[in-house]
Amino acid sequence: MSSNALGEPQTRERFHGGAERSLFFQSTQRDPVLTVILAVASLLLFWSLDGRYLWQDEAETALLAKSILRHGVPIAFDGKNVVSQEASKEFVAGSRLPYFLWRWSPWVQFYVTAGSFALFGANTLAARLPFAFLGLGSVYLTYVLAKRLFASLAVARLSALYLATSVPFLLHSRQARWCAPAYCLFIGLLLFLEGMASGRRRARTGFIVTGVLLFYTNYFVSIGLLAAVLVVAPLLRASRAFLGRLPAVYAAIALFVLPGISLFQVFNKSKPFDDNRYFTYLTYYSSAYSTFLLPLPIFVLLCGLLIVAQPVPESATGGKRGLLFLIAITVLDLGYLALAPWVEFRYMTVLLPVAAILLAVATLWILRTSLVMGILLTVVLLATDILHMDPFGYLGTFGSEKADRFPSVGPTSFPFLGFLYEVTHHFDAPEYVLSRYLNRHARTTDVVVTTYDDLPLQFYTRIRVAGGLEGRQLPEAPDWLIRRRWIMSDEPGKDRSVARHIEDLRLSNKYEPVLIVTPDHMLGTNPDPRHHFFKGPSSSPPVIMFRKMNNVED
């Protein structure tokens, strides 16, 4: 076995074949570098996993998981509280199904969490634990995918390292949400596609299973990814045998997802196409992708490599084919995401494993051109946002915004150090402080009306919590009022309406203020860079809370 320019053992495996027949395991079991990377990833994913309380979206997952343990399916009402963030559109009247049956989003994340609750109890750590494991699995599968696409041990190792230290990846994988399952399933989908292209047995079955599970994890994200994969499949291998299998495989996936299309009312959430909205959202996703996933200078370099150079020498023609395949998926998926009626950073994060591989290919090419420049590039990418900010972050374009640049020196911030600070320091998020206060001072029969964070309060307390974004009739004489200093939505019935109701009650002179000494910051535990805080802000005004007079236990 020969060695390449980096002194690594050069594999004889090629893009479309090789002696190995296993899709996942045989090629990686003797790589000590991968073992070290997985150990580092484990530390970063599991360290202080319950250090912050569940925020609103995570609490939704946890509450519906608890419901599954009681009913077998996610029912959004427990006899006291209602789980809703869409003005009660998540459940539908006029059908044979139970009214409070959850029909807004797919159920994979709820069942994953319910399984963890069954084993470890309904708590913060148990809610997030299975997702952190799936994040770790994503690092491993990214290594395997990179090695198969580029037949390069160096690309595989760098891909796993970049993903394991990506702050957006770590933050989203540590959430009790659909993200980590989607990462694993998407990488698995690409692995099974490569297996089909290489003629591996059972790859078609694996592709169907992962495609169906991806739909039932997040149907919107899955539709875009499946469509992009279908379009770019000829770039992987243009043989009639391979391409001829795809229609039957996709037909099988369509058959299995039809019940979900009906149950979740997939097409009822769409809006008429608006070209202004589309280009605005496309600007957002392009800017956010460059600022937080793959820097624009690196993307330009990779496009140049497709024209003038072979990105990975030992991978023969497979290197350019694999590079073009991944770039095409990225471009098509970003174009698809901009079609949505709303814009969300998390939808794009499913491309994080692909971005990690693309970063690895670019880094390896520069390393082989100049060892010093390659090492410098690796350090800059791992430790700073210098390249990621160029140019959209420095221009402050839509999609490049950050809530927290801690720690920073001038225009340069160090997101990885910010993440390390986060997992080693306590964070007094409002949902944490409010839950603890109500558990100490409220009766179990009390009623709270709040403009937001109603779902964490439902999960962490035993009292009735109304308001938020649920869009239902509000209690006339609640015991506690919580008015957050910002508004999430002006939609009728959501927190703007709740805020007006709270103001009317406050003016009745039946309520007195409660001093809550904690900054009222917005969505600090949300992993979206526009909202996430590594370090709690000290300049925000305090949370506003009122209690009905003579209605609190000493």
Residue 286: inside a domain: yes
227 burial (CB, 10 Å; 0-12 / 13-18 / 19+) is: middle
Task: Give 3-state DSSP helix, strand, coil % of the chain, rounded to 5.
Answer: 55, 5, 40
Query: Backbone phi, then psi, for 12, in 5-degree steps?
Result: -90, -5
Number of domains in the chain: 2
Kindly indicate the confidence band of residue 315, based on its pLDDT and cuts at 50, 70 and 90. Answer: low
Residues 390 and 286 in one domain: yes
Q: Are residues 344 and 437 in the same domain?
A: no
Quickly state the pLDDT bin for 539 (edges 50, 70, 90).
confident
Tokens 């484990």 belong to which residue?
Answer: 42
Residue 515, domain member (yes or no): yes
Whether 351 and 458 map to the same domain: the answer is: no
Over 50: is that where the pLDDT of 83 sits? yes
Does 532 fall in a domain?
Answer: yes
Residue 56 belongs to some domain of the structure: no
**522 and 463 together in one domain:** yes
pLDDT band at 551 (very low <50, low <70, confident <90, very high): low
Q: Is the same domain home to 177 and 277?
A: yes
Which H/E stretch holds residue 545? strand 542-548
- Strand 464-467 vs strand 480-483: parallel, antiparallel, or unpaired? unpaired
Domain ranges, residue 291: 34-49+127-400+413-420
Which among 97, 50, 60 is positioned nearest to 81, based on CA atoms? 60
10 in a domain, yes or no?
Answer: no
Question: Quick check: is 79 in a domain?
Answer: no
Of the pLDDT bands very low, low, confident and very high (cuts 50, 70, 90), residue 537 is confident
How close are the terminal C-alpha atoms of the chain, in Å? 76
Same domain, 352 and 491: no
How confident is the model at residue 313, as a pLDDT?
56
Under 8 Å between Cβ of 2 and 10: yes
DSSP code of residue 409: E
pLDDT tens digits along 116-138 = 999 999 999 999 999 999 999 99
- Render pLDDT for 301-312 as a digit per residue (tens, 0 to 9): 999 988 887 676
- Contact between residue 286 and residue 337 where contact means Cβ atoms under 8 Å apart: no
Please check whether residues 229 and 148 belong to one and the same domain: yes
Residues 447 and 350 in one domain: no
The least confident of 105-109, 357-361, 540-544 is: 540-544
pLDDT tens digits along 219-248: 999 999 999 999 999 999 989 999 999 999
Does 159 lie in the same domain as 41? yes
Q: What percentage of the chain carries pLDDT values higher than 70?
A: 93
Q: What is the mean pLDDT of the chain?
A: 91
Locate all alpha helices (DSSP H) within 151-239, ordered by sequence: 153-164, 167-173, 179-197, 203-215, 219-236
Please check whether residue 100 lies inside any domain of the structure.
Answer: no
Token duo for residue 538: 């000290």
Angle between helices 240-263 and 179-197 (to 10 degrees): 150
Domain presence at residue 107: no
CA 236, CA 329: separation in Å to the nearest integer? Answer: 11
Do 384 and 442 lie in a common domain? no
d(CA 338, CA 343): 7
Q: Indicate if 260 and 330 belong to the same structural domain.
A: yes
